[in-house]
Amino acid sequence: MTRGMLVLICVATLVGVVVSCAPAPPVAEHTVSEYRADASLRREVLARCLNDPGGLGQTPDCVNAREAERLESRGSLRDQAPVGLDPSGRR
C-alpha cells in the first residue's frame, strides 16, 4: 500500500468519526394537534420563541406552536364573511 493511499484512508476514517459524533437534530416535544388542543401551552411556547427568535425561533416546537396558532387564529381575509360593502362603490 502506498503512503498516499494510507493517508487517504486515515482522512476518510477521521471524517467518518467526526460526522458520526455530530449531535442529533432536535425533536419536538409536542405536535401541532397537541398545541391546538392546549391554548395555554401554545401561548407559553410562543412567548418563549418570540423572546428568543435567534436561539429558539426555528426549533421544531416553535414551528409546531406557530402552525397551531395559525390554524387556530382567525385565518386569512379570504376565510372571513363578507363585510357588506356595496360592490358598485356608491355611497
Name the CA dihedral angle for 38, 39, 41, 43, rounded to a multiple of 10 degrees: 160
Which pLDDT score, from 0 to 100, does residue 31 have?
93
Give 39-70 pLDDT, tens digit per residue. 999 999 999 999 988 888 889 999 999 999 99
Which pLDDT score, from 0 to 100, does residue 77 have?
64
- Cβ–Cβ < 8 Å for 71, 36: yes
Which pLDDT score, from 0 to 100, does residue 43 have?
93
| Angle at alpha carbon of residue 64, lines to 25 and 24, rounded to 5° | 5
